[in-house]
Amino acid sequence: MQTQKIPGVKHVIAVASGKGGVGKSTVTANLAVALAKQGYKVGLLDADIYGPSIPKMMGVEGEQPGVTGTQGEERIIPIEQHGVKILSIGFFLPAKDPAIWRGPMASNALKQLMNQGQWGELDFLLIDLPPGTGDIHITLINELHVNGAIIVSTPQQVALASAIKGLNMFRNKDIHIPILGLVENMAWFTPEQHPDEKYFIFGKENCEKFAKEEGLELLERIPVVQGISESGDAGEPVSMDSDSITGKAFHALAEKVVTFSSTKRFYYVKDN
Ligand SMILES: Nc1ncnc2c1ncn2[C@@H]1O[C@H](COP(=O)(O)OP(=O)(O)OP(=O)(O)O)[C@@H](O)[C@H]1O
Ligand SMILES: [Mg+2]
């Protein structure tokens, strides 16, 4: 399949899930900030055309990206925050206006962000996908050279049952995008006041078992912590503090992403 590379961008990594609300955007925002704090040049493309949450999570809601270039050759200048270059369809929609678009409109909006974004030199461009396997995914896979994908799931059976659809999309023999591995989000609950306690409210070994069955690396296990959600709402991802317990988890994930990308030791999962 003929896909395009974005000039100057070394690694494009998509973050996907089967089910919605499992923490893709939280993981993508924190991973982006962690990579930037580790000294990498990072871009973040919010491809969730229907419910863009990156502007809020990165603290740039309501910002308006500038446009440069001559007519017909316009380039959109990403907003920079926490060391990350960000573009989101959310910048172009009124905050309370739901985007009820037909597939082709959504696909065109994504293509514009990909192709007209003035990304410059990047080590990593992370793509926060909508849940499932819809038009946006197909557009991304057909148009852009994606170096790898991360699958996010909670340990609930319903989340894992749909994660498999996301996996199958990437490892389809015509697409064959390497999977870096699985991020288990909401792995356990730890009360803020009792950091040593772990309550496995959604199942203790489900993700580990799933990863083993599918030949995936379990990249990181992120607990449910109030601070993760609060900092997301406040636009200051927890990974800004690399010493906090949750910050450490995202920094460890970032290190794995770097290793995989530099060694190309991506896990190719079994063909379907
Ligand atoms: N580990 C966590 N601890 C606490 N809260 C979390 C955690 N992960 C995500 N959340 C919260 O859960 C909600 C859903 O997370 P998020 O928006 O990242 O999911 P998503 O998979 O991107 O959703 P969508 O499918 O709608 O795009 C958010 O309010 C977020 O702050
Ligand atoms: Mg999201």
Is residue 233 assigned to a domain?
Answer: yes
How deeply is 38 buried, as exposed, middle or buried, from its count of CB atoms within 10 A (0-12, 13-18, 19+)?
Answer: middle
Is residue 105 assigned to a domain?
Answer: yes
Domain at 129, CATH number? 3.40.50.300
Is residue 271 assigned to a domain?
Answer: no
* Rounded Cα distance, 268 and 253, in Å: 19
Q: Give the range of the structural domain holding residue 24, as residue numbers without chain letter.
A: 9-263
CB of 190 shorter than 6 A to ligand 1: no
Ligand 2 centroid to residue 191 C-alpha, Å: 24
Distances (CA, A) of 122 to 11, 97, 144, 202: 8, 32, 15, 37
Is residue 4 assigned to a domain?
Answer: no
Straight-line distance from the first to the last Cα atom of the chain, in angstroms, rounded to the nearest whole number: 18
- What pLDDT does 245 receive? 84
For the stretch 230-265, pLDDT in tens is 999 999 999 999 988 889 999 999 999 999 888 755
CB of 222 shorter than 6 A to ligand 1: yes
Angle between helices 135-143 and 103-116 (to 10 degrees): 40
Is residue 234 assigned to a domain?
Answer: yes
Q: How many domains does the chain have?
A: 1
pLDDT tens for each residue of the chain, 272 residues long: 678 899 999 999 999 999 999 999 999 999 999 999 999 999 999 999 878 899 999 999 999 999 999 988 899 999 999 999 999 988 887 666 666 667 778 888 889 999 999 999 999 999 999 998 888 999 999 999 999 999 999 999 999 999 999 999 999 888 889 999 999 999 999 887 887 899 999 999 999 999 999 999 999 999 999 899 999 999 999 999 998 888 999 999 999 999 988 875 554 444 44
Residue that the structure tokens 């926060």 belong to:
128
Atom of ligand 1 nearest to the CA of 53: 17
Return the amino acid letter for 1.
M
For the stretch 88-97, pLDDT in tens is 988 887 666 6
Is residue 20 assigned to a domain?
Answer: yes
Is residue 179 assigned to a domain?
Answer: yes
Atom of ligand 1 nearest to the CA of 29: 18
- What pLDDT does 264 receive? 59
Q: Compute how many other C-beta atoms are within 10 angstroms of the C-beta atom of residue 80.
A: 14
Ligand 2 centroid to residue 47 C-alpha, Å: 9
Is residue 269 assigned to a domain?
Answer: no
